[in-house]
Chain A
Amino acid sequence: MAGIAVSTTINGDITEYLCQPDETLLDVLRDRLGLTGAKEGCGTGDCGACSIILDNRLVCSCLVLGAEAEGRRIETVEGMAHGDQLHTLQQKFLEHAALQCGICTPGFLIAAKDLLAKNPDPSEEEIRFGLAGNLCRCTGYDKIVRAVQDAAHVMKGA
Chain B
Amino acid sequence: MNFDPRFSGRKFASVGTRPIRPDGVDKVTGRARYGADFNMAGQLVGRVLRSPHAHAIIRKIDTSKAEKLAGVKAVITAADLPDLTDGDAAMYDILDNCMARTKALYDGHAVAAVAAIDARTARQALKLIEVDYEILPHVTDVDEAMQHHAPLINDTIFTEGLEEKPVKPSNVTKRSQFGHGDVHQGFGHADFIVERSFKTEQTHQGYIEPHACVASVSSDGTADLWVCTQGHFVYRQHCAQLLGMEASKLRVTSSEIGGGFGGKTHVWAEPVALALSRKAGRPVKLVMTRDEVFRASGPTSATSIDVKIGARKDGTITAAEATLRYSAGPYAGSWAEIGAMTAFACYKLDNVKTVGYEVLVNRPKTAAYRAPSAPMAAFAVESAVDELAKELSMDPVDFRIKNAAQEGTRSSYGPVYGPIGIGPTLEAVKNHAHMKAPLAKNQGRGMACGFWFNFGGQTCVDLNIGMDGSVSLAVGTVDVGGSRASLSLVAAEELGIDYSQLKAIVADTSSLGYNDMTDGSRGTFSSSMATISAARNAIKILRERAAQMWDISVDDVVWEQGHAVAKGEKHGNLGKLSLKEIAAESGKTGGPIAGHSELVADGAGVSFATHICDIEVDPETGSTRVIRYTVVQDAGKAVHPTYVEGQYQGGAAQGIGWALNEEYIYGKDGRLQNAGFLDYRIPVCSDLPMIDTQILEIPNPNHPYGVRGVGETSIVPPLAAIANAVSNAAGVRMTHIPMSPPRILAAIEAERGG
Q: Give chain A's interface residues, CB within 8 Å of chain B.
A: 20, 22, 27, 30, 35-44, 46-47, 49, 76-78, 80-81, 86, 90, 93-97, 99-106, 109, 124-125, 127-129, 131-146
Chain A, Cβ-Cβ closest to B629: A140
A137 touches B685 (CB 8 A): no
> Which single member of A35, A43, A44 contacts B30 (CB below 8 Å)?
A35
Q: Which residues from chain B contact A22 at a C-beta distance below 8 Å?
A: 120
Taking the closest CB of chain B, its distance from the CB of A125, in whole angstroms, is: 8
Q: Is chain A's binding surface mostly helix, strand, loop or mixed?
A: loop
User: From B641, which residue of chain A is reached at the shortest CB distance?
Assistant: A97
B676–A139 CB distance below 8 A: no
Are the CB atoms of A138 and B686 closer together than 8 Å? no
Closest 7 CB pairs of A and B: A37-B30, A103-B258, A140-B653, A102-B27, A140-B649, A46-B677, A100-B481
Contacts of A124 on B, CB cut-off 8 Å? 690
Whether B440 is near chain A, meaning CB under 8 Å from some CB there, is no
The answer on a CB contact under 8 Å between B206 and A39 is no
- Judging by beta carbons under 8 Å apart, are B20 and A43 in contact? no
Residues A101 and B677 in contact, CB atoms below 8 Å apart = no
Q: How far is it, in angstroms, between the C-alpha of A109 and the C-alpha of B18 when the chains are bound?
A: 22
- 23 sample A-B contacts, Cβ–Cβ < 8 Å, listed by A number: A36-B30, A36-B36, A36-B37, A39-B258, A40-B287, A46-B290, A77-B30, A80-B29, A86-B25, A97-B643, A100-B482, A100-B646, A101-B259, A102-B258, A103-B256, A103-B258, A109-B28, A133-B684, A136-B208, A137-B207, A140-B649, A143-B645, A143-B646
Residues in B with CB closer than 8 Å to A109 are 28
Q: For residue B616, give the distance in angstroms from its CB to the closest CB of chain A.
A: 15
Within 8 A of A (CB), among B498-550: none
Say whether B691 faces chain A, with CB atoms less than 8 Å apart. Answer: yes
How many A-B contacts are there with CB distance less than 8 Å?
Answer: 178
A47 contacts across to B, CB distance below 8 A:
208, 290, 677
> B180 at the A/B interface (Cβ < 8 Å)?
no
Q: Interface size for chain B: under 10, 10 to 19, 20 to 34, or 35 or more residues?
A: 35 or more
Docked CA distance A97–B22 (Å):
12
Contact check, A103 vs B209: say whether CB atoms are below 8 A apart: yes
Q: What is the bound-complex CA distance between A146 and B287, given in angstroms?
A: 33
Q: Which residues of chain B (9-55) have a CB below 8 Å from chain A?
A: 18, 20-21, 23-25, 27-34, 36-37
- B650 adjacent to chain A (CB < 8 Å): yes
Rounded to whole Å, the gap between the CB of A27 and the closest CB of chain B is 8
Q: Point out the residues of chain B lying under 8 angstroms from A39, CB to CB.
A: 34, 36, 208-209, 258
| A-B contacts besides A81-B29, A140-B688, A142-B649, 15 pairs, CB < 8 Å | A38-B30, A46-B677, A78-B30, A90-B29, A94-B21, A94-B25, A97-B643, A97-B646, A99-B28, A103-B259, A105-B27, A139-B646, A139-B649, A143-B642, A145-B685
- Shortest CB distance B48–A (Å): 15
Bound complex: CA A75 to CA B338 (Å): 48
Provide the residues of chain B in CB contact with A94, threshold 8 Å. 20-21, 24-25, 28
Supposing A135-B677, A137-B206, A137-B654 touch, asked if A102 and B32 sit within 8 A by C-beta, the answer is yes
